[in-house]
């Protein structure tokens, strides 16, 4: 073959390949437009559309002023400071009683509108029980957080807000960490979005996105390998889920991070309320099959047993700290199965009941309330007056 013929063949091959790539790209975009679920999946693999920022030593948090869409069609809005709920002032206005609420997706409010979250109901209940006193609840919880991520968020964001009470509601995502053998302190495997957070940190150091990041932003075809890989991983997890043997180090890691959180609160003598999210797996084991795979172990019984292990660790930590003089309590919850969306995420009614439980525990630390406010609070607790009609956004 002559040089001219070879060059012609290569050019024809390049044109054919380019045409194939273009047709594949067009086909994926048409499919994404006509199949909304596939379109949402494609958007999840756009690296420039990720709705979290890397922060702290190994942490992440939601971006400010963005809308998060949950799989059941509800939405969550983040405010200018990057958390769910109304805007607040920094520094804290004089006379304001501020509660900082931390936790996982169960606390962030997965699957419900902005007016149906624990923090929204807690603001309402505290306002009823302590009339005349400005009451704020700041929801720094976020999807995927384990106890270490909560510590990072409290250290970097929560403490500067000058909280009067800190509430930590956690113990679901730390179960996921029991998958990992030889778990070490500050282990990147505990991150739900490990690859994305690592990329964000690298781009922070570089001063901007890499070329491949920009290509994936503009090309659906470039996103397909990630989508296919994750589908394969999920299928494998479903097939092998009953073979998971929980590793005991996760409970030690959970306790270590609870103590870190408690030490931050102790340095400023801030009352600390610990709580573990309620679970319905004992009453409704079938909820296991519809729950997100990330934080489940081999079976409903195994998952629930480890959740109970973490709850017992938390109660032991609280007892030890309280015996040492720290202002810390454990807040229990008892919710009926009807208040669950799945194994652990709650309906609006469930979130309202959680808020009532927390408000009762917070009451002992509210100072400077007008005369009669405590009596009014007890009356409101008995009546359990519902919050205004919830609005989904």
pLDDT digits (tens, 9 = 90+) for 377-390: 444 444 344 444 44
**How far is the CA of 113 from the CAs of 44, 117, 391, 393, in angstroms?**
21, 7, 6, 5
Domain extents in the chain = 73-190+246-383
Q: Is the peptide bond before 91 cis (omega within 30 degrees of 0)?
A: yes
Q: Would the pLDDT of 351 be above 70? A: yes
pLDDT digits (tens, 9 = 90+) for 283-334: 999 998 877 767 888 889 999 999 999 999 999 999 999 999 999 999 999 9
Q: Would the pLDDT of 49 be above 70? A: yes
Q: Give strand pairing partners of 273.
A: 167, 329
Query: What pLDDT does residue 243 have?
Result: 59
Asked whether 232 and 165 are in contact (CB, 8 A), the reply is no
Tokens at residue 313, please?
Answer: 């660790």
SS3 168: strand
pTM score of the predicted model: 0.86
Q: Token match 């590793």: residue? A: 247
Angle, vertex CA 212, rays to CA 28 and CA 70, nearest 5: 55
Query: What pLDDT does residue 242 have?
Result: 54
Percent of the chain with pLDDT over 90: 66
From the list 143, 137, 81, 82, the residue with the least C-alpha distance to 112 is 143
SS3 329: strand
Tokens at residue 95, please?
Answer: 């006379």
Q: Would the pLDDT of 236 be above 70? A: no
Superfamily of domain 73-190+246-383: SGNH hydrolase (3.40.50.1110)
pLDDT digits (tens, 9 = 90+) for 271-293: 999 999 999 999 999 998 877 76
The Cα–Cα gap between 372 and 360 comes to 16
Indicate the pLDDT class of residue 4, thresholds 50, 70 and 90. confident
Query: What pLDDT does residue 369 have?
Result: 45
**How far is the CA of 45 from the CAs of 38, 42, 68, 282, in angstroms?**
11, 5, 15, 35
Query: What pLDDT does residue 80 have?
Result: 96
**How far is the CA of 248 from the CAs of 255, 296, 306, 309, 311, in angstroms?**
12, 15, 9, 10, 14
pLDDT digits (tens, 9 = 90+) for 100-130: 999 999 999 999 999 999 999 999 999 999 9
């Amino acid at each position: 073959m002559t040089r001219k013929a070879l060059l012609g063949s290569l050019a024809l091959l390049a044109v054919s390949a380019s045409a194939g790539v273009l047709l594949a790209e067009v086909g994926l975009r048409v499919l994404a437009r006509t199949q909304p679920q596939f379109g949402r999946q494609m958007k999840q693999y756009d690296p420039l559309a990720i709705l979290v920022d890397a922060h702290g030593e190994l942490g992440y948090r939601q971006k400010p002023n963005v809308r998060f869409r949950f799989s059941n069609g509800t939405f969550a809005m983040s405010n200018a400071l990057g958390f769910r709920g109304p805007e607040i002032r920094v520094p804290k206005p004089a006379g304001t009683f501020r509660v900082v609420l931390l936790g996982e997706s169960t606390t962030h409010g997965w699957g419900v509108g902005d007016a149906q979250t624990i923090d929204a109901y807690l603001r309402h209940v505290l306002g009823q029980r302590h009339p005349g006193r400005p009451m704020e609840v700041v929801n720094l919880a976020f999807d995927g957080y384990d106890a270490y991520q909560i510590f990072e968020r409290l250290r970097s964001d929560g403490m500067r807000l000058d909280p009067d009470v800190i509430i930590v509601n956690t113990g679901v995502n730390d179960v996921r960490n029991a998958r990992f053998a030889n778990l070490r302190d500050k282990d990147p495997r505990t991150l739900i979005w490990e690859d994305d957070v690592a990329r964000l940190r690298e781009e922070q150091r570089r001063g901007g996105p890499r070329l491949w990041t920009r290509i994936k932003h503009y090309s659906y075809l470039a996103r397909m390998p990630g989508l296919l890989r994750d589908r394969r991983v999920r299928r494998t997890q479903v097939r092998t889920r009953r073979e998971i043997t929980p590793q005991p180090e996760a409970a030690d890691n959970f306790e270590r991070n609870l103590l870190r959180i408690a030490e931050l609160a102790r340095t400023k003598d801030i009352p600390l309320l610990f709580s573990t999210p309620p679970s319905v797996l004992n009453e409704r084991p079938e909820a296991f099959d519809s729950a997100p795979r990330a934080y489940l172990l081999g079976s409903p019984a195994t998952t629930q047993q480890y959740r109970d292990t973490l709850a017992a660790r938390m109660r032991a930590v609280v007892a030890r700290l309280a015996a040492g003089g720290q202002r810390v309590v454990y807040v229990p919850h008892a919710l009926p199965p009807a208040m669950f969306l799945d194994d652990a995420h709650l309906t609006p009614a469930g979130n309202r009941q959680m808020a009532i439980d927390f408000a009762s525990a917070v009451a002992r630390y509210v100072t400077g309330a007008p005369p009669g406010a405590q009596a009014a609070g007890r009356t409101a607790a008995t009546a359990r007056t519902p919050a205004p009609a919830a609005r989904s956004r």
